[in-house]
Amino acid sequence: MKFDAEDEFDGLQTLIEGKNIPVIVLNTGRLKSSDRKRFTALHELAHLLLPLNGVPEKLAEKYCHRFAGAMLFPKKTAESEFGDKRNKISFQEFGMIKQKYGISIQALIYRAKDLGIISDYYYSTLFSLIKQLDWKIQEPYVYEGKENSNRFDQLLLRALSEEVISLSKASSLKNQKLAEFRNNNLLPA
């Protein structure tokens, strides 16, 4: 769920009481870029999935950041893009990888440090530069991937293909006229 709220939080998660239904909310008033929205959604998912009861809050946040980073930029991908060890990585290279994978430069730097690709010292140097360049909130190299869920459409077409529902029921669920639904989904007449 997306929500435009005050600048006090990036995202939150909860389970609906009694139903065990997970809900993740992203603050679109604060999160402007797609890469930050993706990272925050996965961070909040980690809060729901990881066994964090009894883990100190600061450590739990670190685990959730690592989870999000690993989901967006797995170890094999990181090593393929950066190599096993690097002394330096240019911001231009980080930017190109950001545009390719939809993960922020800051998250890429953290991931590279976490995987031992760059040293702790170089990690600190890069974050000092980010602060000097005023990139903490607004980074260069925009990720332009379109993030839209198509799960409903997939399930609808699957149910139709498996003859669980009729064509008229599918078009009704999609809120389209029968002919429009057939044409939009390239279905034979």
Q: Are residues 65 and 94 in the same domain?
A: no
Whether 89 is in a domain gets the answer yes
Q: Say yes or no: 81 and 119 in one domain.
A: yes
Give pLDDT tens digits for 86-110: 999 999 999 999 999 999 999 999 9
pLDDT tens string 43-62: 999 999 999 999 999 999 99
Query: Considering only CA atoms, which of 101, 67, 170 is closest in space to residue 93?
Result: 101
Q: Are residues 53 and 22 in the same domain?
A: yes
Tally the domains of the chain.
Answer: 3
156 and 138 housed in the same domain: no
Mean pLDDT of 110-115: 97
The pTM (predicted TM-score) of the whole model is 0.71
Full residue range of the structural domain in which residue 84 is found:
73-147
Cβ atoms < 10 Å from Cβ of 110: 22
Greater confidence (67 vs 8) lies with: 67
DSSP 115: T
Residue at token pair 């170890």? 75
Helices (H), the chain: 34-49, 57-72, 75-82, 91-101, 105-114, 120-132, 151-161, 167-173, 178-184
> What percent of the chain has pLDDT above 90?
55
Q: Is residue 130 part of a domain?
A: yes
Q: Per the domain annotation, does 189 fall within a domain?
A: no
